[in-house]
């Protein structure tokens, strides 16, 4: 069962659906291309909001995308879900509700399937892809994104800057090795680069000589969003303005952004994001 995360859950889905409709409208003018939709963390198809009295069911991104049929639908849908129970639930749902769609539902790690997709797209250059990556925690590896360089992909990615990266960046810089490894895999950076970016050192005079103090930058979450966008720009020509998705308290949980090698896609994504700020 996919649990509802709050207003931001619906916002990210609405953004992807709105973008998908614009994407398909444009691609409908280019019949020489096949359109592939890839969802790397597809879930069970429905999201359940618990108000402590009853559950409200909200359609997940997979179902919302499958519903689009004007001006056209995607030629192929590829859904990846690591949790076998969720995978089976999604497969059952879409087989019942969308039997006519050309779809694949696989139980695997998204990182593996991103690599497989990159190989497929390099061999089949008549495909264009819209991908949605909404990872569980910090499960998405940077190396899995790097392999997409130069391909015809528009990629929406939810980056756990607040609830993931920031929590691992301890205030005094003493980060556990396991946490540092997660940051390395997620950002594709060395421990030294990570610490240099998120921490500042100051030297003070004490009674017993000089002492170096290490402190985390006060705006570490915002810096994480800026960093991820900059890093994405090393893979893709264009990266949208990140949308900050926040808790009801106002604290940032995620940065949501789109990357593409197409300037028109960049413009459309930014226009959509502005509407949801």
Query: Could you tell me the domains of the chain?
Result: 2-160+218-276 (3.40.50.150)
What pLDDT is attached to residue 85? 94
What is the tens place of the pLDDT at every residue in 150-206?
999 999 999 999 999 999 998 888 899 999 999 999 999 999 999 999 988 776 676
pLDDT, position 174: 86
> What's residue 177's pLDDT?
93
Q: How far apart are the first and last CA of the chain?
A: 29
Q: 55 pLDDT band (50/70/90 cuts)?
A: very low
**Confidence band (pLDDT; 50, 70, 90) for 207?**
low
Please name which of 4, 9, 1, 11 lies closest in space to residue 51, comparing C-alpha atoms: 4
pLDDT band at 218 (very low <50, low <70, confident <90, very high): confident
Mean pLDDT across 118-135? 97
Task: Dump pLDDT digits (tens) for 67-114.
Answer: 999 999 999 999 999 999 999 999 999 999 999 999 999 999 999 999
- Residue 48 — pLDDT band, cuts 50, 70, 90? low
**pLDDT tier at 47 (50, 70, 90 boundaries)?**
low
Whether residue 205 is preceded by a cis peptide bond, meaning omega within 30 degrees of 0, is no
Taking the CA atoms of the chain, what radius of gyration do you get in angstroms?
A: 20
Residue 49 has pLDDT above 70, yes or no: no
Give residue 54's pLDDT band: very low, low, confident or very high (50, 70, 90): very low
Global pTM reads: 0.91
Determine phi and psi for 27, rounding to 5 degrees: -65, -20
**In whole angstroms, what is the distance from residue 21 CA to residue 159 CA?**
23
pLDDT for 1: 42
Structure tokens given for 140: 């998405």
Q: Measured between alpha carbons, how far is 84 from 81 in angstroms, rounded to an integer?
A: 7
Residue 66 belongs to what H/E stretch?
Answer: helix 61-67
Contact 77, 65 (CB under 8 A): yes
């Amino acid at each position: 069962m996919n649990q509802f995360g709050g207003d931001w859950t619906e916002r990210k889905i609405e953004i992807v659906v709105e973008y998908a409709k614009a994407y398909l409208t444009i691609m409908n003018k280019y019949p020489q291309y096949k359109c592939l939709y890839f969802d790397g963390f597809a879930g069970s198809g429905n999201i359940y909001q618990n108000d402590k009295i009853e559950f409200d069911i909200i359609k997940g991104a997979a179902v919302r995308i499958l519903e689009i049929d004007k001006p056209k639908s995607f030629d192929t849908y590829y859904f990846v879900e690591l949790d076998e129970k969720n995978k089976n639930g999604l497969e059952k749902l879409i087989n019942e509700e969308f039997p006519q769609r050309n779809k694949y539902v696989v139980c695997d790690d998204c990182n593996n399937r991103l690599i497989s997709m990159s190989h497929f797209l390099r061999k089949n250059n008549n495909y264009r892809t819209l991908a949605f990556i909404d990872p569980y925690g910090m499960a998405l590896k940077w190396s899995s994104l790097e392999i997409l360089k130069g391909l015809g992909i528009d990629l929406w990615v939810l980056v756990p800057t607040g609830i993931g990266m920031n929590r691992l960046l301890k205030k005094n810089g003493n980060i556990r090795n396991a946490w540092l490894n997660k940051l390395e895999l997620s950002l594709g950076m060395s421990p030294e680069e990570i610490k240099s970016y998120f921490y500042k050192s100051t030297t003070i005079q004490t009674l017993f000589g000089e002492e170096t103090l290490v402190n985390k930058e006060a705006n570490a979450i915002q810096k994480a969003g800026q960093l991820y966008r900059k890093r994405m720009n090393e893979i893709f020509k264009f990266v949208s303005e990140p949308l900050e998705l926040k808790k009801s308290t106002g604290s940032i949980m995620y940065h949501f952004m789109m990357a593409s090698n197409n300037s028109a896609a960049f413009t459309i994504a930014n226009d959509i994001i502005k509407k949801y700020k």
